[in-house]
Structure 1
């Protein structure tokens, strides 16, 4: 796959042509207030995961409208005290996975809260356990991108973004979490969710978003050649008279718009051969991001991005933002 998007000097300055809805702030303020009014304290139960270095807890917490959302809370085994914690979100169609899929962060001394994606959890080897109890109108090939897309109040991602924001509330309520040292992280859809959370709250210490999805919808749906953006393009190919209505809804969920309100330090990554999340759409979110930021570029990679090379960068960066586990 060639580098097909804008040249480097244009990427550095590229901005989305999408505009913020006039009631964007009120929409999200009301949405979060309503779901917090239905909030209940998270429940955590220790489970046997077959790991000697990591403790694993099965968590249920209050998401959109008080709906229960599942997560795994992991801590380095035998470590006392409150730990810096990373709340992690999943890629498209993925779920929280199995208890033993701990990743590298607990081995580095961090606690993690691995959040399920409601209604997803059948792709990428990461199973999910959280249903989405809300119905929806027609959707393209059953995909999540078009569920309720004609109405911002009914759109699937209103529920998913709210779950993601309230996951940080849940993390703060768990024992052993340093409430003032919380970061968010995700890859692809998870990266987009991390950016959305950073845009909708002001109390994070760090944000890590790799090859983020859910950015600059107007450009993405005309440029991506693989992946979930094609669901929107396919839907609009059939519903030719709904383009304006769909784009109006997407404006409430576009991270290239939302990140103008983000303030926490951010580390992002982009791959210049990415056919799922075109590089310009990632740059649109990065260039709009209002807080301190750094972007790592992988010129010859597709949507796999930096992978383990990026993890090494994150370990060094995260230690500066959150401090060591015994700080």
Structure 2
């Protein structure tokens, strides 16, 4: 079988290359304390898009650092309450997508909350000193500042906050809140369930933001990871700070949050993926201690995976 990474038997044992900061757990415990101190000030605004089967709202909440975060909220009509809910996360630089994308789940009795990542292609605010989008460079945002100012720290906390908001909605069953997404959305699915352990099920697809040093060593710091190369070329051309940089990236490396997950995991990986290399994903998956299963697509890369959407629906319908 062709391969772009390790053989499968090695992938199943791989434990990652990126260094783990010594104070990693304290870092994220401190981050969660910061999040708990935030007044979310949740606001629901009826959307211009409406359907006979579901009510659609623009949902806004205040995240850490004061950013106002936007999500699309689709709530099914004429269903028994409380009912299950899904939090959805999009790919890197993207946005929450069309309202119609959520209606299949709403038709099955799920509320859906789809977040716009701060500073990317949607309507959420980036509180980094400017209004509007910042779109690219989010992995390296904050590398020359205190680790608490890494942008993905803030985005990871937004995912947990949105899940917490979903759990507290009166129409939602708090025991049936699930998370899903692909690529960056897969990464944020992981961060969501790790930082909000009340998420009962999660379905990440080829998750991003894992094992940065492995990406670098495979010479795949391009496409979604291109900013790693950009950073070294512009800010550390002699690689004098390479060890420091990868250790700081360890704070936002999802392989080290994976053991916090308590919900059941259904993960998808394509073994021909050169955008988010399989070994980086396995470094994270192999550290999950919760109930888990892996759907492996030997001939597929970072692309649509046939049958994955149907399988995810069935996974969530099982309750």
TM-score by length of 1: 0.88
Q: Distance in 2 between matches of 1:141 and 1:71?
A: 17
Deviation at 1:272, TM superposition (A): 0.9
The reply on whether 1:144 has 2:142 as its aligned counterpart is no
Deviation at 1:51, TM superposition (A): 2.8
Deviation track 1:179-233 (CA, whole Å, cap 9, x = no partner) reads 2211111110111111122222321211111000011111023322642212112
Partner-residue secondary structure (3-state), 1:133: coil
1:232-311 → structure 2 map (5 Å cutoff): 232-238=228-234, 239=236, 240-306=239-305, 308-311=306-309
The reply on whether 1:318 has 2:316 as its aligned counterpart is yes
Residue in structure 2 matched with residue 34 of structure 1 by the alignment:
34
> Is the 1:39–1:66 Cα contact (8 Å) retained in structure 2?
no
Partner-residue secondary structure (3-state), 1:288: coil
Q: Distance in 2 between matches of 1:135 and 1:10?
A: 45
Residue in structure 1 matched with residue 223 of structure 2 by the alignment:
227
Q: How many residues align?
A: 311
The reply on whether 1:181 has 2:180 as its aligned counterpart is no
Residue in structure 1 matched with residue 123 of structure 2 by the alignment:
129
Deviation at 1:89, TM superposition (A): 1.1
Note closer, same or farther for the CA distance 1:210–1:142 as it changes in structure 2 (3 Å cut): closer
> Is the 1:62–1:170 Cα contact (8 Å) retained in structure 2?
no
Partner-residue secondary structure (3-state), 1:102: helix
Residue in structure 2 matched with residue 325 of structure 1 by the alignment:
none
TM-score by length of 2: 0.90
The reply on whether 1:207 has 2:202 as its aligned counterpart is yes
Q: Distance in 2 between matches of 1:102 and 1:142?
A: 26
> Is the 1:35–1:66 Cα contact (8 Å) retained in structure 2?
no
Runs of 4+ deviating beyond 4 Å: none
Note closer, same or farther for the CA distance 1:252–1:103 as it changes in structure 2 (3 Å cut): farther
Deviation track 1:224-276 (CA, whole Å, cap 9, x = no partner) reads 26422121123123412231222121111111121122221101010111111
Residue in structure 2 matched with residue 218 of structure 1 by the alignment:
213
Q: Distance in 1 between matches of 2:266 and 2:251?
A: 23
Which consecutive unaligned segments of at least 5 residues does structure 2 have?
A: none
Residue in structure 1 matched with residue 114 of structure 2 by the alignment:
114
> Is the 1:209–1:269 Cα contact (8 Å) retained in structure 2?
yes
> Is the 2:65–2:127 Cα contact (8 Å) retained in structure 1?
no
Residue in structure 2 matched with residue 10 of structure 1 by the alignment:
10
Deviation track 1:33-69 (CA, whole Å, cap 9, x = no partner) reads 1232122341112223143333211100121234221
> Is the 1:63–1:167 Cα contact (8 Å) retained in structure 2?
no
Partner-residue secondary structure (3-state), 1:21: coil
Q: Distance in 2 between matches of 1:264 and 1:117?
A: 23
Deviation track 1:271-312 (CA, whole Å, cap 9, x = no partner) reads 111111001111111111111100001111110141x51011
Deviation track 1:147-194 (CA, whole Å, cap 9, x = no partner) reads 112331111101111111111121123341112211111110111111
Q: Distance in 2 between matches of 1:107 and 1:153?
A: 41
Residue in structure 2 matched with residue 72 of structure 1 by the alignment:
72
Partner-residue secondary structure (3-state), 2:178: strand
Which consecutive unaligned segments of at least 5 residues does structure 1 have?
A: 122-127, 323-327
